[in-house]
A and B are shown apart, each in its own frame.
Chain A
Amino acid sequence: MERPDWAPEGIDLSKASVARAYDYWLGGSHNFAIDREFARQAIAAVPDLRLVARANREFLHRAVRFMIDMGIRQFLDIGSGIPTVGNVHEIAQKVVPDARVVYVDIDSVAVAHSQQILSGNKFATAIQEDLRRPEVILDHPATRALLDLDQPTGLLLASVVHAIPDEDDPYGILNRLRAALCPGSYLAISHVTTDSRPEELGEGARLSGRTTTPVTARTRAQVERFFDGLELIEPGVVWSPLWRPDSPEDVGDHPERMSFYVGVGRTV
């Protein structure tokens, strides 16, 4: 018998959760007073933060639809957060009814909520894990049950890699995740930056320090490094509204104000 290496953390509702604050920015009500207090302070620092969040969300949806068009039938969505209408499994299963989705989040409330929503959906599930433990995610029984990693997979890392500080080696973590994917898989990343609005976003990142998952903003070059060794899909790493918009009018006048670098890469 082995000694358990993991003691579950009790859930701490006295600390703001970025997952639930993100839900608030998107206009959702799946959040608590402590989350809204943080979310409003962040809005005070970045007044159009709701739009920033929505633009990021839109990118995720376009990326999923793109991957479905490319033939992807299974997704691993890490940092999935609070599920809302139009989540990955809804987009995917609308086109391919048995498309598989495994949601992963570190926030136990987000995961519990996801599980409530997904009860009865045998092709989608949610597990509580930490992106910093890629092997545990990949070897998780739920992952093993739903995903066949010998088939191309869509790995979605929307608004989550910036929760990994440099000392936790985000590039190493990404490499370990990518190593598990077979050729022809896709990786989507959206990542906060202070390149365009250093002061406002800098303050927002500073505020995130009081949440359960503080943010590390990165430059375009740093975000591009996450795609090293992948075939970077056009138009490369760009501001979130600029990645394959549905129509020119969706881009808006100042895409750089959306403060997220996004990109999709393909494993070769």
Chain B
Amino acid sequence: MTGHRDAGSPEDRYRHGLDTFARAWAKALHRAHYVPISAAERYRIVRSLAERLVGGLFAEPPDPTAGIGVGKDLVAAGFASPDALGRTIAILNTRLAADLGLPADAAMPIRLTALLEGLAAGFTAAVHDRSLDAQDAVRLAALAAQTRAEQALRANEARFRHLATHDAWTDLPNRTLFVERLDRVLATGPPSRRVGMCCINLDEFATVNDILGHDVGDRLLAATADRLRALAEPAGHLVARFDSDQFAILIEGTTCAEDAVKVADQALNALAEPFHIDNTEIPVTASAGVAERSVGSGDTAELIRATQIALHWAKADGKARWALFAHERSAADAERYRLSAAMPAALRHGEFALAYQPLVDLRDGHIAGVEALARWHHPRLGVLGAGQFIELAEHTGLIVPLGHRLLEQACQQASTWQQDGYGLYVNVNIAVRQLHQTGLVASVAQILDRTGLAPYRLQLEVTEHAVIELTDPIRATLAALVELGVRIVIDDFGTGYANLANLRTLPLRGLKLDGSFTRPAPRIGKPPPPAVRQPDDTAFLATVVALGHTLGLTVTAEGIETASQARRMRAAGCDTGQGWYFGRPASPGEITRRVADERR
């Protein structure tokens, strides 16, 4: 086979010129690249494109697609800037023919123009496609970014919402969420629909914290939350932690209070199982307040308050139990609170006064003395008996100034009777709290001094409860009072399991038997079987009176309302009697009249 190198392709023939041209082209395209590439890489790319251009230039028949392909590939290689096209056209026009040493052929410029036409068209078409693709991509990216931002925002909102509506330690819903749910239940249900709620509180949580530490306390709370959650959530009840050791359960769709009580009962039972924390068994009790009612009968705050009040009752009634809210008890509580709040002003305004009830000598029926009984002349409620406010006064501590005031009044009155020659003694009640006051003996002495009452005419009545746990200071106070010449009697004897030894050692004057001795309680229910021995009331009474006399004490019978009761108590050996049969509490004037009548 023979052949000539001359007959080779145009690429071969113009190899040297192509190298020169490609170097010039590559230099022209510096920084016309969309992204940087090395100079060598740039040369490699345009050298190959130049070869294809020359191939297209000499193709027979002329191939218009050669220019289009080169234009597209320029863009594909990254030479996509306007500069890249402009400089490419310029360099092809000015350098290609010269670098390749092309003959001055009339057809050549026409062929070159066709090639450039294709190159420009291919380039712009590719740039157009590329721009459209890029725009799609950036819009998709923006959409993705927007979606992600919104998701993140929603997730964040959900997280904030969870934080705002849940307790961080137990992850239980908090009071906010509970109130929201209850609001919704109360706002949306038909008015006849019912709802229940219980409020649960650990009884000795502060003690656990103090003794075992806050760490154990915190874990106890978490364990409590778990038990309540396990109990209530399967049943569809909302459990929330209100604060510290207080939890609440919402019971929707109850039919009656019993439904809510049942849940409270279950909750207390669940908490009654001992907890085990750090291998330590922690026995716990809890109390619950329960309220249940129809949706239409009040708002969220009222329902929550009702359970809190009921919880307070459960605690006051001895803890480890539930209490169901009742309006009557709540109203009574409120009335007690109002009375107790009004008492200091009432004391300032002189609304407290004394009534006197006769104490009658059972041997001959004459009035030997009186018991001074406190009365509150309430501007709105009328006259209130001691039973309605003395306990409140003891609770608030107002009993101390009030007791002092009443003692003074009583002594003043007894002194008047003493001056009039009636010689009545006066019994005045002293509260336990007053006995604890260090100044009691001194103020009694002052009052006696000021009023001029003979000390033996003052008898202070101390309840049996006061001497159950007799402390040394109280013993000393009683002894000092007796030293003054004042007499001490035990009130309500027989109700408080008084220590018999105390009765013997205390400098007492007498006993006042509780009213129950006078009016034995009627037997309730079926009569007992004959084998069970009935205590004999009369014999029992006689024994108690004998006990008093053995100790050298006078014995007073209280609550005598009928002649037969009076006979019975006299027969039992009581020295003195008191009760409606002998006279109701009366004004001093009335007492004076009666005594005056007796003496006439």
Partners in one complex: yes
Q: Which candidate, A138-146, A167-175, A245-253, is the interface stretch facing chain B?
A: A245-253
With both chains docked as a complex, state the minimum distance between the C-beta of A21 and any C-beta of chain B, in angstroms. 12
- Max count, chain A CB within 10 A of own CB: residue among B31, B33, B38: B31
For the complex, what is the distance from the CA of A20 to the CA of B36, rounded to whole Å?
Answer: 18
| A20/B30 contact (C-beta < 8 A), A8-B149, A116-B144 known | no
| A86/B160 contact (C-beta < 8 A), A30-B137, A249-B27, A249-B30 known | no
- Residues A250 and B134 in contact, CB atoms below 8 Å apart: no
- B35 touches which one: A11, A26, A32 (CB < 8 A)? A26
For the complex, what is the distance from the CA of A112 to the CA of B140, rounded to whole Å?
Answer: 8
**With an 8 A cutoff between CB atoms, is B515 at the interface?**
no
Give the residues in chain A near B152, CB-CB below 8 Å: 8
- Residues A10 and B150 in contact, CB atoms below 8 Å apart: yes
Give the residues in chain B near A32, CB-CB below 8 Å: 138, 142
Write the residues of chain A forming the contact surface with B, with a CB cutoff of 8 angstroms: 1, 3-4, 7-11, 13, 20, 26-32, 50-51, 54-55, 57-58, 61-62, 82, 84-87, 108-113, 115-116, 246-247, 249-250
Give the residues in chain B near A250, CB-CB below 8 Å: 30, 39
**With an 8 A cutoff between CB atoms, is B383 at the interface?**
no
- Residues B34 and A112 in contact, CB atoms below 8 Å apart: no
| A112/B39 contact (C-beta < 8 A), A9-B149, A28-B134, A51-B31 known | no
Give the residues in chain B near A84, CB-CB below 8 Å: 34-35
- Residues A109 and B142 in contact, CB atoms below 8 Å apart: yes
Give the residues in chain B near A85, CB-CB below 8 Å: 34-35, 78
For the complex, what is the distance from the CA of A249 to the CA of B29, rounded to whole Å?
Answer: 12
For the complex, what is the distance from the CA of A84 to the CA of B37, rounded to whole Å?
Answer: 13
Closest-by-CB residue of A relative to B76 is: A85
**With an 8 A cutoff between CB atoms, is B145 at the interface?**
yes
**With an 8 A cutoff between CB atoms, is B277 at the interface?**
no
- Residues B33 and A113 in contact, CB atoms below 8 Å apart: no
- Residues B138 and A1 in contact, CB atoms below 8 Å apart: no
- Residues A11 and B145 in contact, CB atoms below 8 Å apart: yes
CB contacts between A and B, total, < 8 Å: 104
For the complex, what is the distance from the CA of A184 to the CA of B350, rounded to whole Å?
Answer: 95
- A1 touches which one: B27, B131, B132, B168 (CB < 8 A)? B168
Q: Restricting to B128-181, which residues have a CB under 8 Å from any CB of A?
A: 130-132, 134-135, 137-138, 140-142, 144-146, 148-150, 152-153, 156, 159-160, 163, 168, 171
A-B contacts besides A4-B156, A10-B146, 7 pairs, CB < 8 Å: A8-B156, A55-B31, A86-B35, A108-B148, A109-B145, A116-B144, A250-B39
Closest-by-CB residue of A relative to B150 is: A10
A selection of 8 A-B contacts at a CB cut-off of 8 Å is A1-B171, A7-B153, A26-B34, A29-B130, A30-B138, A113-B140, A115-B144, A250-B39
Ranked 7 nearest A-B pairs via Cβ: A113-B141, A29-B134, A86-B35, A8-B152, A108-B145, A29-B131, A58-B36
For the complex, what is the distance from the CA of A61 to the CA of B34, rounded to whole Å?
Answer: 13
| A112/B148 contact (C-beta < 8 A), A29-B135, A54-B33, A86-B36 known | yes
**With an 8 A cutoff between CB atoms, is B541 at the interface?**
no
**With an 8 A cutoff between CB atoms, is B80 at the interface?**
yes
Closest-by-CB residue of B relative to A60 is: B36
For the complex, what is the distance from the CA of A58 to the CA of B78, rounded to whole Å?
Answer: 14
Give the residues in chain A near B163, CB-CB below 8 Å: 1, 3
Give the residues in chain A near B168, CB-CB below 8 Å: 1
Give the residues in chain B near A51, CB-CB below 8 Å: 31
For the complex, what is the distance from the CA of A108 to the CA of B78, rounded to whole Å?
Answer: 26
For the complex, what is the distance from the CA of A50 to the CA of B138, rounded to whole Å?
Answer: 20
- Residues A27 and B138 in contact, CB atoms below 8 Å apart: no
For the complex, what is the distance from the CA of A87 to the CA of B168, rounded to whole Å?
Answer: 46
For the complex, what is the distance from the CA of A9 to the CA of B145, rounded to whole Å?
Answer: 11
**With an 8 A cutoff between CB atoms, is B409 at the interface?**
no
